[in-house]
Structure 1
Amino acid sequence: MSNYIPKENISIDESLLLWKGKWKRYIPIKRARFGIETSMLAEAETGYEWDLLLYTGKGTEYACEIPGLSDQAIAKLSKPSKIVLAPVKPLLNMGYVLGMDNFYVSPELYDILLAHGTDAVGTVRFNRKGLSDDVKEKKLNKGETITRFNNKVMHMKWRDKEYVNMLSTVYEDSMEMVQSGGKEVSKPTVCIKYKRMHMEGVDLMDQVTSASSVTRKGVTKYYKKLFFRLIEMSLHNCHVIYKRNGGQENLLGFKLLFIEQTVSAYSKDVY
């Protein structure tokens, strides 16, 4: 945190480190499906991992003391809201735009973020409390949308192959023409921007660590898996800073350079 300030767009998402022992979680949409779960806050453009929360069971605590919220109000917050507010707290009132998926998104969370100078965009589940009833109940034909605003919060439902439900404080209810399946189709701007600009961060980090020694079957201790993954994450973060300061090497080249310099420094200390 002290070495890097993320750009405007940040994202939070859960990640699974393949594991079938202690603290095992099951998330069917993830590649690993079973594993150690971490909720990660990352820069959307580069995947710089700014903070993470490790799930350690039902007793996992989330330190989300927010100015203006009483202890009673914080206690009443849903678990997903607490998971978001804990790592994002140092970035509040700084003009960030936070992207997240429907596990985290809710009107109560958006109200808190807006009150602390932070915008948000994401998909939202139809059964969340506080959503517009007429939007939830409206039947649409393919390509149609319905939108309602509550102050700055936009609730949009769009019919594609299935219904897509969005909540945003940064986009209007405009449409754009994009290429899809070899032809031009009209899609809501919020859906296009959400996928392209706001939700890549954690996926980028997962791509980096999935190709590393973290996935080796020979690693049988959960703390070893976590240790190796933290090493890979740290190297990726270092590479982001290296590139931001004019570095030209790709991640593999940077790792080799890092190894050479580390071995050289160690050799001087020893000999």
Structure 2
Amino acid sequence: MYFGKDTTARTGKKSEKIVLRLMRPYLLKGHQLYMDNYYNSVTLSQKLVDLKTHTTGTLRSNRKDNPKDIIKKKLKKNQHVWERKNKVYVSKWVDKRPVLMVTTSVHPRLIEIQNRFQQRKIKPAEVAEYNQHMSGVDRADQMISYYSSPRKSIRWYKKVMFHLLDVAYGTHFLFSKNTAKPIVISCFSERN
């Protein structure tokens, strides 16, 4: 969504400002924040850890403050490298494709985990923690992409409306599937 032109301050990115504004009541309390790559950056993670809020999340490779050595490093499958910048760890791991992570709460290292099929796998600790806590959000985004009602529109509010309809339909479907008596929503009224 369009955030609007910021005429008051020129420091920091808008996505960082959004996160800091939303987290304001929870800062300085020792919370843990999990973010996807849209909001995450090394700079934001450093600001949050200075405010006693740890972060873990995926990272886009084109962020300005990323360590160049990690980004440019060519890795083979299951290789893992990391670098520390102040209190922030940035790591790269290759599974099916390269995965960039940023964390302030977990020291990057390879650990053995058990997947849902009871198979043992080697993964970085930061990836395992992120998957444990972000799976619901990522799964919802995945499901919406399968059954989306895409509409090309110039107006941003129409896109938001269709996205909200997708989410509402998905939640209604899950609710009616998991309850004994499904709720039927009708847009038409009966006339006598």
Q: CA deviation at 1:88?
A: 0.9
Q: 2:4 aligns with which of 55, 59, 67?
A: 59
C-alpha distance after superposition, 1:1-23 (max 9, x if no partner) = xxxxxxxxxxxxxxxxxxxxxxx
Q: 1:154 aligns with which of 89, 94, 113?
A: 89
CA distance in 2, matches of 1:191, 1:97: 15
Structure number with higher strand proportion: 1
1:144 paired residue number: 79
Contact 2:27 2:52 (C-alpha < 8 Å) held by counterparts: yes
Q: CA deviation at 1:199?
A: 5.4
Where structure 2 has 5 or more consecutive residues not aligned to the other structure, the ranges are 144-148, 150-156, 169-177, 184-192
Counterpart residue type for residue 128 of structure 1: R
1:242 paired residue number: none
Deviates more, 1:176-185 or 1:78-87: 176-185
Counterpart residue type for residue 193 of structure 1: E
Structure 1 position 184 matched with structure 2 position 120: yes
Counterpart residue type for residue 59 of structure 1: G
Name the TM-score, length of structure 2 as normaliser. Answer: 0.67
Q: CA deviation at 1:169?
A: 0.2
**Looking at both structures, which has the greater relative contact order when contacts are Cα pairs under 8 Å and sequence separation is at least 6?**
1
2:26 paired residue number: 91
Contact 2:46 2:87 (C-alpha < 8 Å) held by counterparts: no
1:105 paired residue number: 40
Structure 1 position 80 matched with structure 2 position 28: no
2:105 paired residue number: 170
Q: CA deviation at 1:60?
A: 7.0
Counterpart residue type for residue 122 of structure 2: S
Over aligned residue pairs, what C-alpha RMSD do you find? 4.1
Q: 1:200 aligns with which of 126, 129, 136?
A: 136
Where structure 1 has 5 or more consecutive residues not aligned to the other structure, the ranges are 1-54, 62-70, 208-214, 216-220, 233-250, 257-271
C-alpha distance after superposition, 1:146-178 (max 9, x if no partner) = 111123211110011110000000011222223
Q: CA deviation at 1:179?
A: 3.9
Counterpart residue type for residue 125 of structure 1: R
CA distance in 2, matches of 1:186, 1:155: 18
CA distance in 1, matches of 2:60, 2:138: 21
C-alpha distance after superposition, 1:24-49 (max 9, x if no partner) = xxxxxxxxxxxxxxxxxxxxxxxxxx
Contact 1:98 1:198 (C-alpha < 8 Å) held by counterparts: no
Q: CA deviation at 1:81?
A: 0.9
